Structure 1
Amino acid sequence: MGPHISSYPPLGQITQLKDQNFHLIALLEVGKDVANDPWEVAVWYTFDHHNWSEKILPPLPSSDCPPSLQTINSSNALLYFCSPFFASSRVKFTLKFRNSHDQPWMWSYNVSGVTNGVVIINQEESLDGTEQSLSDFIHGINPDLLVKPVASQTPNTRLWTITATVGPAEEDRSTYHNIELGTPCGYMRYFALVRHALPWLGPRHGSDTISLDKNAVMCSFLNLNGQHLVLLGISDVANVMTLLRSSDTGSVQLHIRNDAETDSDGLVLAAVGHNFESAMAAVMYHARTIPLTTGSDHGNSTPDIQTVSNDVKAQWNENWYDGLGYCTWNALGQRLTDEKVIHAIETLAKNHINISSLIIDDNWQDIDYQGGDQYQHAWKGFEAEPTAFPHGLKDTVSRIRSKHPGIKHVAVWHALLGYWGGISSDSDLAKRYKTIQVDRQDASAQGPMTVIAKEDVGQFYNDFYQFLSDCGIDSVKADVQYMVDTWISAKHRRELTETYLDSWVVSALRYFSIKAISCMSQTPQLLFHQQLPHNKPAMVARNSDDFYPDVPDSHPWHIFANAHNTLLTQHLNILPDWDMFQTDHEFAGFHAAARCLSGGPIYITDVPGNHNLEIINQITGTTTLGTTVIFRPSVLGKSIDAYIGYDEPNILKIGCYNGMAVTGTPILGVFNTSRQYLREIIPLSRFPGVLESSMYVVRAHRSGFVTPALKPDNPTAVIPVQLDVRDYDILTAFPVTWFDSETNGGIHVANLGLIEKMTGAAAIMASRSELQHNGRVVLSTWLKALGVLGVYISCLPDMSIERDFIATMRDEPIPAHTARVSEADAHVLSIDIETAWKEMGLDSWGTSDIEVKVYFDIEHP
């Protein structure tokens, strides 16, 4: 591989900076055999498309060069160049380099194919109380639309409602309207979440001319002034679905479907802010305040959701989605039997894989298997398929629970309407409950299906979940929820959609509390009716299309789509679920890292006996009670670059955060979803939740390397990242405590959590460090699970573990051999808490957390 150049601000991206004074830092990767050549790097730049100028970037002294957290190719060398820059307006730039002054310049675009970089100086002047109108951001607004400014709940943003009145459904056929909105002004990038498929959202990106292949729920535009215009179509108001689409001329249109029998209003929210997150929050917060339709009278069969929600008792998350789950779907195929399920569980146990939740997925039910595919197959009765489960569902669940008491929760899959093809028309269910026939029109699901009629839906769900509860089932996965949007009849959608959604939620809360998964439910009406309102406890909801183990190209897209979908779903009343994955798989680490960062549940679907125990040990830990837990960050993982497209040669960066503000831990996952080697420079300031006034050490999970203490406002406080195709890593920024030592000067200390776990910072329940009067530091850590605790101490190479340290659990000294200096970094003290716990024979005292204290003398000679 020839020379490779990268920079911050980065090429090929738009970077918003608050300060007119910034530093441009370039990283040139060259072969070691030419590393001593007189390399030169220059930036070629222009302000607001005026004349281009050139500036030579001087090399950084070796003492100022950022440390690498990854193992560098032994045949390569990294050369840094840096220069201060002043910009009063927008700057476009590119880089060129050469290995001596008499050689021709090599341009970055010709070497790597990366386009120019753009820097926007955004002073973030207040938007509150400004006189700007929406026409300042959208050119040629349709005068037939009603545009009204409204108060925004998000500081420093402007908000408007856009209303379009549309005609009623006619003869049971919905009315569709395409209404011109206008063209967003002077934007450089757009990002949209479209209906990637009927059940799923997916991201779309582009530059200065919007072109969408599918209808969008939201669109965001970054303009030349660094302002973000976010448009959000609202659905489920008066039985209206409002989406966004692009025209052939690059304008935005409203695509509105009216199922109501009267004129109705399609509604779009528009917000402008100085950053994407605040503009997105503005439209989502206001969406929560919009009264959604109660278009059908449920009668007494569907109690009020709020009433049932008030009866739901608070539960520890650890009892549900904080444990490791196992799903049968990809693991056991599509013809389940009770013996297959039990064999899979026993195989997990033999491999010491301790799951706390089991999902018995599709194909446990009694299905008629009529028609050509699953979309035609219909459900016959509550009891499990009699041949595959000859002793019934209750017997299977009872055997599982008696032999494997560590499995606390057993869930079953079912479709919202019973099965993919609804209810079998000649079944016991059809005789027990009133049914109707509805017609579907979709590429996959076509033709008629039988479903429970409106007046019996509430009773049906109550009876079904009572049966499941009696069988020992305590959780459910309700799938295929989008099917209600395939119905041709406006009347059926109008009268049944809300009935089914509310009846399901009520019964799920009544029988299973929060232990329910909503799946294939990113249809617009479901997003706004089921998942946005905060009148009930948050549920788990699938965040993207499925994990497809045998489709190689699906894996990077899966991670990319989830990271961008969360930019919207983070504002819903749900816990986003990034789907199951297999640990014995080419992309196992890729998926595992993404699940750990997501902040959602983690469950695997391994074929029995095919397990990667190393991966499993990196995503889970064992508590003092012997249970297995995962390490979920407290803030959801999401893309930190809303406008970077899937096909662009840029690293996908997924940011999350754990703990309290100021004292918490920023985490950044980096993923190469492209088809080429990538290198980027990532400033510490880009990590979520980083404070300029604080200091951090950054640790890479895969290498275990740790930086010295860094301050985010230092221009060289950057992390160089190199990733091969389909490669990944997790970078965690740990807050540093500074102690003054008379004999050793300033000493930096950081609690690294459980260092062998991908998101081991999330194992820290609480942490405190203090300097005692005798010159000894004590670091107290409360952990949610056992493992290897890491402590960064800047002067550790000059200290002696035997002389200067003591560690305790329950105030008893741990065995000396369980503490050692990390092989990956000489500044990290690693303490094997798990081994120490076993050897000390401590009792859990009925609690899963454990306190560890580390004492060390900073005044050692």
Structure 2
Amino acid sequence: MAPKTGADTAGVPAETQMLLLEKTGNGVEDTVYALMLPVLDGDFRASLQGSPENELQFCFESGDPDVQTMDAVDAVFVNSGDNPFKLMKESIKILSKIKGTFSHIESKETPANLDWFGWCTWDAFYKAVNPVGIEEGLQSLREGGAPPRFLIIDDGWQQIVNEFKEVDGALLEETVFAERLVDLKENDKFRGEACKNLGDLVKKIKETHGVKYVYAWHALLGYWGGVCTSSDVMEKYNPKLVYPVQSPGDVANLRDVAMDSLEKYGVGIIDPEKIYEFYNDQHSYLSSVGVDGVKVDVQNVMETLGHGFGGRVALTRKYQHALEESIARNFKGNNLICCMSHSSDHIYSALKSAVARASEDFMPREPTLQTLHIANVAFNSLLLGEIFIPDWDMFQSKHETAEFHGAARALSGGGVYVR
């Protein structure tokens, strides 16, 4: 999700999820704002878009050819006021009461880790994250005078398989996003001389390095490519291989390499009737070894999987609410970070989720994107900040723009952590 400004409706991009109009008068006191929020209506979701004829259109879709309607009764919420911030807050509160499918941020429990400086392992290791490296990283930050009290063990700790590697080695790079989860426990890197298991590592870093909160990363479907349908561990969740279908609105804005890969090679999806059991099993294990919460990524894939499941809205809501119930049961303090969750399906299904990433990743190798990143998260937070505490993403402490990013995050009201 990214902001755009303009003076005519023809320039409104496809998949617009918030439209704020400003009408100026002779003075500031004469300025009036109109807010349009395309929302969820039953099993359908709406979005706005401009036309070449300079008309404002709304797109109404279910994501399942078998779920159709001729009626759109409550698809777009409209309100007006003289202060855009008050207007947004008031509108989201009204909308949450009308819909009942999501909650305003003021009614949600705030995770305690947001009060502490943190470190995420992603940039330091990518998928090569390991116990020795984690301890060395924590020690380095301590020696630098910035001991993290919050740690995210990012992608790289799970047991996954690339089922295409055995077929053709040349496919390995192309199918990296189609790798699938085979087990709920940690991989062999976290079982050896450095530590006996994940629980041993978590206990050690809390006692030795003073870390208060440890989160583990996983995708909404387990891993990027879902779960391995032939795995004995996953069999109980009735998984099956499905192929995502991207909507015209999505591809009109951006072709995404991850989604293109999944569209070609498929996703191992868990039976919606078994998804709570899956989350509960995963989270109860993590909790039993001392993990305090989770960062749940790749949530956008749900908007492409609605066909055959009653539509994208129904499927997303089933998964989202199951996730939230599992978090409440297994972790203290609503310890969940939602990531890649900007579709209205997720936004307006978030009853308990209190933290969500507010933009694209921080990209250290793209010098022109540093100020753009901050502009994006600031504008996106106008909407997201009424439903979640916006997470402005981690940043690199040695980056040439580190002070700029650090100051921005200090003002964001969200977490401050480096990678």
AA in 2 matched with 1:215: E
Whose Rg is larger?
A: 1
Instruction: State the identity as a percent.
Output: 31
Preserved CA contact (<8 Å) 2:45 2:345: yes
1:345 corresponding residue in structure 2: 138
Unmatched 5+ residue regions in structure 2? 26-30, 165-173, 247-254
May I ask how many residue pairs the two structures share in their alignment?
379
Pick aligned residue for 2:21 from 212, 221, 224: 221
Which whole-Å CA distance do the structure 2 matches of 1:381 and 1:458 have between them?
16
- Local SS of the residue matching 2:2: strand
Query: Could you say what secondary structure the match of 1:375 adopts?
Result: helix
Q: Deviations over 1:72-114 (max 9, x none)?
A: xxxxxxxxxxxxxxxxxxxxxxxxxxxxxxxxxxxxxxxxxxx
Partner residue, 1:323: 116
Q: Compute the displacement of 1:436 (Å).
A: 2.5
Equivalent pair of 1:324/1:356 in contact (CA under 8 Å): yes
SS in 1 for 2:211: coil
**1:325–1:355 contact (8 Å) kept in structure 2:** yes
Q: Where does residue 179 of structure 2 map in the other structure?
A: 377
Deviation at 1:250, TM superposition (A): 1.6
Query: Residue 271 of structure 1 contacts residue 282 of structure 1 at CA under 8 Å; is this kept in 2?
Result: no
User: How far apart, in 2, do the equivalents of 1:223 and 1:469 lie?
Assistant: 52
Specify the alignment match of 1:395 in structure 2: 200
Change (3 A) 1:243 1:518: same
Bigger share in strand: 1
Matched, 1:290 2:98: yes
Q: Is the 8 A contact 2:135 2:205 kept in 1?
A: yes
Query: Matches of residues 781-792 of structure 1 in structure 2 within 5 Å?
Result: none
User: Does the CA-based 8 Å contact 1:238-1:293 persist in structure 2?
Assistant: no
CA 490–561 in structure 1, closer or farther in 2 if over 3 Å, else same: farther
1:685-704 per-position Cα deviation (integer Å, ceiling 9, x unaligned)? xxxxxxxxxxxxxxxxxxxx
Which of 192, 214, 217 is 1:410 aligned to?
214
User: 1:454 deviation in Å?
Assistant: 1.8
Shift of 1:249: 2.0
Following the alignment from structure 2 to structure 1, what is the Cα–Cα distance between the partners of residues 298 and 13? 23
Alignment match of 1:437 (pick from 241, 255, 270): 241
Q: Which has more helix, going by share of residues?
A: 2
Q: Relative to structure 1, is the Cα distance of residues 278 and 349 closer, same or farther in structure 2, using a 3 angstrom cutoff?
A: closer
Indicate whether 1:362 and 2:155 are aligned. Answer: yes
Q: Return the letter of the residue paired with 2:2.
A: G
Deviation at 1:490, TM superposition (A): 5.3
* Letter of the 1:355 counterpart: P
Structure 2 contact 409–415 (Cα < 8 Å) conserved? yes
Cross-structure match for 2:348: 528
1:44-83 deviations in whole A, cap 9, x for unaligned?
xxxxxxxxxxxxxxxxxxxxxxxxxxxxxxxxxxxxxxxx
In 2, the alpha carbon distance for the partners of 1:557 and 1:256 equals: 30
The structural deviation recorded for 1:223 is 2.3
The one-letter amino acid paired with 1:452 is: I
Matching residue of 1:256: 60
**1:335 Cα offset (Å):** 1.7
Question: Any unmatched runs of 5+ in structure 1?
Answer: 1-200, 295-304, 606-861
1:75 aligns with: none
In 2, Cα distance between equivalents of 1:210 and 1:474: 47
Which of 72, 79, 83 is 1:275 aligned to?
83
Q: CA deviation at 1:325?
A: 0.6
The alpha carbon displacement at 1:427 in A equals 1.6
Q: What TM-score do you get using the length of structure 1 for normalisation?
A: 0.42
How does 1:431-510 map onto structure 2 within 5 Å? 431-442=235-246, 443=255, 444=257, 445=259, 446-447=263-264, 448-487=266-305, 489=307, 491=309, 493=312, 495-510=314-329
> Which of 337, 360, 366 is the aligned partner of 1:517?
337
Q: For the residues of structure 1 that align with 2:379 and 2:19, how far apart are their CA atoms? A: 12
Return the TM-score normalized by structure 2: 0.84
Give per-residue Cα distances to partners, 1:214-249, cap 9 Å, x unaligned.
Answer: 3201112222543222111012x2111111000112
Distance 1:494 1:217 in 2: 15
Q: Distance in 2 between matches of 1:344 and 1:487?
A: 38
CA distance in 1, matches of 2:413, 2:49: 31
User: Which residue identity lines up with residue 383 of structure 1 in the other structure?
Assistant: K
1:580 to 358, 382, 394: 394
C-alpha distance in 2, partners of 1:272/1:452?
Answer: 42
Q: Write the letter of the residue equivalent to 2:213.
A: H
Q: Which AA in structure 1 matches 2:5?
A: H
Equivalent position SS for 2:18: strand
Q: Amino acid of the residue matched to residue 253 of structure 1?
A: Q
The whole-number CA distance in structure 2 between the counterparts of 1:521 and 1:227 is: 31
Root-mean-square deviation (CA, aligned residues, Å) is: 2.4
- Using the TM superposition, give the Cα deviation of residue 363 of structure 1 relative to its aligned residue in structure 2, in angstroms: 1.3
User: 2:199 is aligned with what amino acid?
Assistant: K
- Following superposition, the deviation at residue 496 of structure 1 comes to 3.0
Per-residue CA shift, 1:435-469, capped at 9, x if unaligned? 13322134432132112112211111111111001
SS of equivalent residue, structure 1 residue 321:
helix
TM-superposition CA deviations, 1:237-286 (whole Å, max 9, x none)? 21111110001122211111135355442511112222323443443232
Q: Provide the secondary structure at the position in 2 that maps to 1:206.
A: coil
Distance in 1, Cα, partners of 2:221 & 2:79: 37
**Offset at 1:560?**
0.3
User: Where does 1:771-786 land on structure 2 (aligned, <5 Å)?
Assistant: none
Q: How does 1:172-321 map to 2 (within 5 A)?
A: 201-208=1-8, 210-225=10-25, 226-235=31-40, 237-258=41-62, 259=64, 260-265=67-72, 267-292=75-100, 319-321=112-114
Q: CA deviation at 1:430?
A: 2.3
Question: Cα gap change, 1:470/1:273 in structure 2, threshold over 3 Å: closer, same or farther?
Answer: same
Shift of 1:334: 2.5
2: CA distance between counterparts of 1:488 and 1:211? 29
Bigger relative contact order, structure 1 or 2 (CA pairs below 8 A, ≥6 apart): 2
Paired residue secondary structure (2:279)? helix
- Secondary structure of 2:53's aligned partner: coil
Deviation string, structure 1 residues 536-576 (Cα, Å, up to 9, x no partner): 4x62111111111111112111100011111112221x211
Contact 1:240–1:264 at 8 Å: present in 2 too? no
**Residue-by-residue CA offset, 1:499-548 (whole Å, 9 max, x unaligned):** 21111101111222321111111111100111xx4xx4x62111111111
Runs of 4+ in 1 over 4 A off after TM superposition: 261-264
AA partner of residue 84 (structure 2): F
Letter in 2 for 1:588: A
Gap change, CA 1:256 and 1:464, over 3 Å in 2 = same
What is the distance in 2 between the residues matched to 1:518 and 1:209?
32
Deviation at 1:208, TM superposition (A): 4.4
Q: In structure 2, what is the Cα distance between the partners aligned to 1:460 and 1:337? A: 25
Which whole-Å CA distance do the structure 2 matches of 1:324 and 1:389 have between them? 28
- Following superposition, the deviation at residue 497 of structure 1 comes to 2.0
